[in-house]
Chains A and B, each alone.
Chain A
């Protein structure tokens, strides 16, 4: 892996320190103290629990995400430290969702351990190979995750489960903060090599898939359930992910066309 230039490395370190300071001062929350566990709705429908279990399942691949992610950016001081902090924040997501499933009575502790065993039989592999591609994947994936958690936060509210609403709210806040960090890094990468970064962004868009695909048991059936309650369809992808990502990075739609054409042509025939 090419080592970053000193200027870029310093800039990304500062970006991380700003992110970390804000996280420490404004965004920290506790699984034990901040979630209104007494406001679980035990009568909420099974579909609500199934969606929470699916999120928990995807989050449970955390060891693979951390291992894969940190090795790609190991030589980048700020970014390697970011990965460590990111892992801490994401670990709370899976813990909170797992606790919700048990405390709501929707799953037993034994069932959760069995689920974790089943999940650990498969391993998540990094979908892209370079630090820049993984950063851009982070932009898209965290933005998508934020959008999905917001929709499910609304679903929890509709079902009168204030506890799950609160969990999704905390998670969504973390996810959008992660998106902003990846976007800030991407801005720096664009300044350093705009054409190359656009090519990588197009490549990531063309080959993007959410991390749970092919890993979580019964994923397709789960997604059908989740879609009815708020997953990402084409309209949402364009409106809430594709266009906002381009806008934030100050990239015009037409500027993407050349790189996008190349990425689509290189994509395996479906």
Chain B
């Protein structure tokens, strides 16, 4: 199982792939909109992480994601 500490690197990798730029400086506290990630890219990042981990975050949880940590937490919940 992917533990808590693997999800941030995973986010950075997927985000870099989707948005074609580096996300190396991102932390769990980073606000996703501050990273310049728009709505569609955000949906793509979430979707690709879900696919890689074979999980699905409920749609109603998606709108509550503000920081990278929020996203990681919701992924972690589905992995437990």
Contacts and interface: CB of A to CB of B under 8 A. Distances in A.
Interface in B41-67: 41-44, 47-48, 50-51, 56, 59, 62-63
B50 A254 contact: yes
A256 B39 contact: no
Nearest to A241: B39
A238 B43 contact: yes
Interface string A221-256: 000000000000011011100110000000001101
A238 B61 CA distance: 11
Interface stretch (A52-60, A74-82, A183-191, A257-265): A257-265
A206 B48 CA distance: 16
* Residue from B18, B40, B59, B62 having most chain A Cβ neighbours under 10 A: B40
Please give me the 8 A-B residue pairs with the lowest Cβ-Cβ distance, nearest first. Answer: A239-B63, A237-B39, A257-B47, A234-B39, A205-B40, A260-B44, A243-B59, A235-B63
A257 B39 CA distance: 14
A269 B63 contact: no
Contact of B20 (A206, A239, A257, A269): A269
Interface size class of B (residues with CB under 8 A): 20 to 34
Nearest to A263: B40
B40 A257 contact: no
Contacts of A261: 18, 44, 48
B33 interface: yes
Given A253-B47, A254-B47, A269-B20, A260 B59 contact: no
Contacts of A205: 40
Interface in A52-92: none
Interface string A84-118: 00000000000000000000000000000000000
B18 A234 contact: no
B38 interface: yes
* Residue from B36, B44, B48, B51 having most chain A Cβ neighbours under 10 A: B44
Contacts of B41: 264
B40 A264 contact: yes
